[in-house]
Structure 1
């Protein structure tokens, strides 16, 4: 939906006294048209589950073998779990669905979508908003109920963006491919460093669209750069995803959101700071558990400059957090601050669901020697 907000922006960094400015901002935050696929093809446009015709899926354009799937048992003995709603689409060999949407040139957006593999083979979902494209490997299941939700960021280059989901794989069974069950979009406000924190979006309050009925959080795919990351200001630089979680479904130390490091050393986030060589900086942050049954001896490692801090946290999976801090001396005009989890964890009630320590309230300030 289009939402109009009146924001009160406090601009104190350039003035001796704060200046309050009321700014009306229009932004998009919600489902794409028929983004939950509940508006299906006409019965005459279906051959069992296969959609016939390029424009037969309302609001979407399709090519290749695209199936319209309902939640539950399928012909042939398979079972597809549709985590959001009742209906989904399945992209077979080399199949594509796409939709063109109005956007603001230069603005940063995030797509949030439910995606899961449907066959034993390794599957990939290619997400594109030209000229940007990215491949999401779906082989790793982060939750055992098929409810994995991903976010993918892009910066608009024109007034219209074409959102494309494509299965680039070619399997022996031509119907094998990713299941896509919901698509939403959110426009971001670019986070900036402030006089009280050199970190952009250090409390993680600016993040992708969160589905109200999703209890699994949102996976932020690996290798996302800070210019287009679905977590503004941050780089997802690891081999596996990190998870964006909300206070509605998880225990969060501060505010409405935090990050869960769900895949050990393969689950890392970083931010590059502007620093002055020779100057001393203090890093503070909060670690804990999300009250989601993630248990055991946790460890969050933080790196900046030539300094490293290991923060142990004993989790019983019932919530809780602790603060940590360390100092580093900058050796260059740019300093990379990185966080990752030392160990791998699964939930006590579901060993098929990856989990880990949560990170929140990251702050960096210069201090005197």
Structure 2
């Protein structure tokens, strides 16, 4: 057996592609669009075509300026009354999960209420509303898992507006921009951690235009969450080491939606056996100061942990020992008991990273792959 095949079978498989969607940033304009310095809005009609996209209902092509702020000061799409755009792509290769990242803003800053954006694909649908609670920018970045496909399946991605208010004149219609679609394969546990993706390294793509992180809304399913192998309670922010303080690796989770928000996973463990859970708790260097408290639930064990934050980026390692429950998977969760806002008024909270689960005796699972690799490197296979 070759070294490459052993390593591929033992490590997690993930890949990203920037070419799945056509014209994802809408910088290729509609066929009949002409720049107009007096208005940033251009209404699409039966004579309009958008490269890569089809549309229905009230759809406008918008340009940054005239009081409208967009990521990278470019172009975007406003979905008005019954507005809808869609694009079909082909899921090539093996079965993969498709994770979408996009920027969401609103076309008018002062209005009575927001319309929401509905993102859907075969067998999935999710709703997003612009809040400006978690960002100092006039737009927010969201992540979402569209679904899992492969083998040449044809996938139709649909984005459409949904009115919340009965009066269409009082609604701030959603503006969408900077879509990014990546694929990711199976995420498995490593040799020293029973929890897959315990370091939160696998999730939606971080956009290059933003340093605000990626918001993840509540998702009660492990298999359908954009944060691989973790359910989301409330709203959390997926943060990267380029823009924030991340305790370990390249990514972490900041629990921003206040009390009871957080993340949860589950693992099938030996009932009655002792396990040790380690994790990092701190702040993201986003001026989130004060006491940050997290409640950790592992099986039947419940314990609170608190760090005092100056908001400048720091973390401490904590641990607790608990017994596996049964007969089903043992739940493990991190919930915030803190509601904070930083100096710029954005909601913020504790950062969780480096979650490691081990049998308390020190036994390390999945050593077979590591042993085979070591033998191969030594020339014994």
- TM bracket (short chain): 0.7 to 0.9
Distance change >3 Å, CA 327–CA 23, structure 1 → 2: closer
More helix by share: 2
Match of 1:39 in 2: 28
CA offset at residue 85 of structure 1? 4.0
Conservation of the 8 A alpha-carbon contact between 2:279 and 2:356: yes
- Cα-to-partner distance string for 1:110-134 (whole Å, 9 max, x where unaligned): 0000012344314221110112111
Kindly state the Cα deviation for residue 10 of structure 1 after the two structures are TM-superposed: 6.1
1:69: how far off? 0.9
Cα offset, 1:168, TM superposition: 2.0
Q: Deviations over 1:115-169 (max 9, x none)?
A: 1234431422111011211112334632132231001103234522111111121
- 1:193-208 to structure 2, matched below 5 A, reads 193-208=189-204
Whole-Å separation in 1 of the counterparts to 2:205 and 2:284: 19
Q: Are residue 347 (structure 1) and residue 310 (structure 2) matched?
A: no
Q: Does 1:320 align with 2:314?
A: yes
Question: 1:76 aligns to what?
Answer: none
Q: Structure 1 pair 338/84, CA: closer, same or farther in 2 (3 Å)? A: farther
Corresponding position of 2:374: none
Asked if the contact 1:297/1:315 (under 8 Å) is kept, the reply is: yes
Size of the aligned set, in residue pairs, is 347
5+ long unaligned stretches in structure 2: 363-381
Runs of 4+ residues deviating >6 angstroms: 19-26
Secondary structure class of the residue paired with 1:245? strand
Change (3 A) 1:245 1:23: closer
When residues 282 and 102 of structure 1 are mapped into structure 2, their CA distance, relative to the original with a 3 A threshold, is same
- Give, in whole Å, the separation in 2 of the partners of 1:203 and 1:26: 18
Q: Answer whether contact 1:261 1:357 (CA < 8 A) is retained.
A: yes
User: Which residue in 2 is equivalent to 1:16?
Assistant: none
- Counterpart of 1:147 (choices 119, 139, 144) is 139
| C-alpha contact 1:50 1:66 (8 A) present in aligned 2 | yes
RMSD: 2.7
The Cα offsets for residues 300-351 of structure 1, whole Å up to 9 and x where unpaired, read as 2111111112111111111111001101112213111111211111112x01
> 1: distance between equivalents of 2:14 and 2:4?
11
Q: Name the SS for the 2:168 alignment partner.
A: coil
**Does the 8 Å contact 2:213/2:238 carry over to 1?**
yes
Give me the whole-angstrom Cα distance separating, in 1, the residues matched to 2:187 and 2:213: 22
- 301 and 178 in structure 1: CA distance in 2 versus 1, 3 angstrom threshold: same
Residue among 330, 340, 359 paired with 2:324:
330
Distance verdict in 2 for CA 1:22–1:209, change over 3 Å: closer
141-150 or 42-51: bigger deviation: 42-51
Distance 1:140 1:313, change over 3 A: same
Ranges in structure 1 where 5+ consecutive residues have no aligned partner: 1-6, 12-18, 74-78
Of 102, 106, 111, which aligns to 2:100?
Answer: 111
Alpha-carbon distance in structure 2 between the residues aligned to 1:359 and 1:231: 13
Contact 1:87–1:181 (Cα < 8 Å) also in 2: yes
Partners of 2:15 and 2:184 within 8 A in 1: no
Q: How does 1:128-167 map to 2 (within 5 A)?
A: 128-139=120-131, 141-157=133-149, 159-167=153-161
More strand by share: 1
Q: Which has the larger radius of gyration?
A: 2
Q: Structure 1 residues 145, 161: closer, same or farther in 2, change over 3 A? A: same
Asked if 2 retains the 8 angstrom alpha-carbon contact of 1:54 and 1:61, the reply is no
Aligned to 1:93, which of 64, 75, 81?
Answer: 81
Q: Which residue of 2 aligns with 1:271?
A: 265
* TM-score, normalising length: structure 1: 0.86
> Aligned partners of 1:20 and 1:124: how far apart in 2?
42
SS in 1 for 2:204: coil
In structure 1, C-alpha distance between the alignment counterparts of 2:248 and 2:238, rounded to whole Å = 14
- 1:171-182 correspondence to structure 2 within 5 Å: 171=165, 172-173=167-168, 176-182=172-178
The 5 Å alignment of 1:351-366 reads 351=345, 353-366=346-359
- 3-state SS of paired residue (2:259): helix
Displacement after TM superposition at 1:198 (Å): 1.3
